[in-house]
Structure 1
């Protein structure tokens, strides 16, 4: 019977909420909230009690070897750095810089490949086109009221395009359900066109971010390569300091090959 009683649906008990007259005091505290708050208070009180006990029972004459490299300044504990034990060797630093260069080069190559795929998919024109579409009007006052969409008999969203610009008749025929050999844009509505343009703008933003990140990685790789070469052998002197993100320029003394 116990298993059958547990299988039956039970009544859902709803908790009482804060009354409207006490809403300014926040949520009504339940027992689980009180238990959590009380345990947190007891834990903090216990820590303070243990610290006071340690301070009260501290022996001023006690000594540990760790105190040699430690001191207090204005009552605050200060530990001196142990440069001798944890200092990396010259070869270890060169190895780490080589690993950093490999990782940065890999990330730059990945971004460059993705940028190339985006450019090929978007057909982005790097230079401004030289051709222009000039429309001649009979009267000068018609220039102020000129409407490109009405002149080219197309949708307002397609008026600024120089290619694949179907006329309104093609859109009307597509709405009526006629099957005709119209361009690709005739099968899309105004909302679909806006959605396509939005995704296209997002792709251009992604491409711009990747190109900017690739340029930053290129400068960082150059800086790391210069640091690695400076740590190598040979006498050198700095010719020019770093400026606008470019690494400093060094000149090495010529060495006769024997």
Structure 2
């Protein structure tokens, strides 16, 4: 006798039966193309997600590019400002150097002018008695002089009149000079000699350097003299008899007499 399924409630399909049905369904879907249709929404979702991700990346890259550009601009501005600051400092240093060089030039020019002025002063000559005049000329003859003629010139000078060196030199004689009375002899810086006779008093000593216009004594009437005056001689050497024309000597040195 043939066996039949028992009647009554149907039992749920077994696990093996459910598995077989699923496999069969999948195969059917694959055969009919339904599987491909079901897969399309998932693929579209993945594609959309990729597009959104790409867009976000582009936005980030654009922001980073803008930030880099801004940073470069700031760096360029800072570099320009540094260069400008350096240029200003260099310009100020150059101006300072020029100012110092100009100041040095002015200082040197002033020193040269001062030296030139001193040189002129040292080389300057003046009359031995200020505001005076010649009372007895050079080589005037007469018995008053042992040589028979005047070896110098006489300047009008009352007692106590200041007597000055006519130029710069060194005192080589200061004291009694016989017929010259109290006298001073100066070796001038140019090698010539000047003599100042009949002084009432002497104000310098041997070896002393004197400047133009420096007082060396006071006028008087000592020695072979007939009254107060200054006897002035100019000589080419230290010895007596080397006298030259005193007026010509002083005028050659710029003294207007």
What TM-score comes out, normalization by structure 2 length?
A: 0.20
User: Which structure has more helix as a fraction of its residues?
Assistant: 1
- Structure with larger Rg: 2
TM-score (norm 1): 0.20
When you count strand as a share of all residues, which structure comes out higher?
2
